[in-house]
Amino acid sequence: MGLLGQPLGYYDYLTFVALILLLAAVMALFLFIMGLPGRIAIKRNHPHAEAVKLMGWMGFLAIIPWVHAFIWAYHDGMTVDIRRLPEGEREAIRKEIERLGGQVKDEYRAPAADDPQKT
């Protein structure tokens, strides 16, 4: 007997199967999206791939950590602050920027006494 006092027919069982398949597809999509940042990081040889993978799985329900993991998967995390490099390396980077046509701004250097531009 069905819920309304009528026997369950062929279409009722077909509906149950369709709902179960739909639920399985939604769960598979959910799991695929949760693991996406980790798979991207591993494929791109990210230095923190395991952390990105864990953050993708753990942060999905709160959404914001998952978005951060997704962005982090594309960012290599190897940002170098040239203000803290040795002087020789800093000078080589400065020359390379000038060679490429850029204007070097060194806000952290004290202006020299004979420097026409004083900041």
Residue 10 buriedness (CB in 10 A; 0-12 / 13-18 / 19+)? exposed
**pLDDT band at residue 89, thresholds of 50, 70 and 90?**
confident
Interval 73-82 mean pLDDT = 72
Q: 16-30, 40-54, 74-88, 96-110: which has the highest mean pLDDT?
A: 16-30
Interval 4-19 mean pLDDT = 90
Please give the model's pTM, rounded to 2 decimal places: 0.57
Question: What's the confidence (pLDDT) of residue 108?
Answer: 45
Going from N- to C-terminal start, the domains of the chain cover 10-74, 76-106
Interval 42-53 mean pLDDT = 88
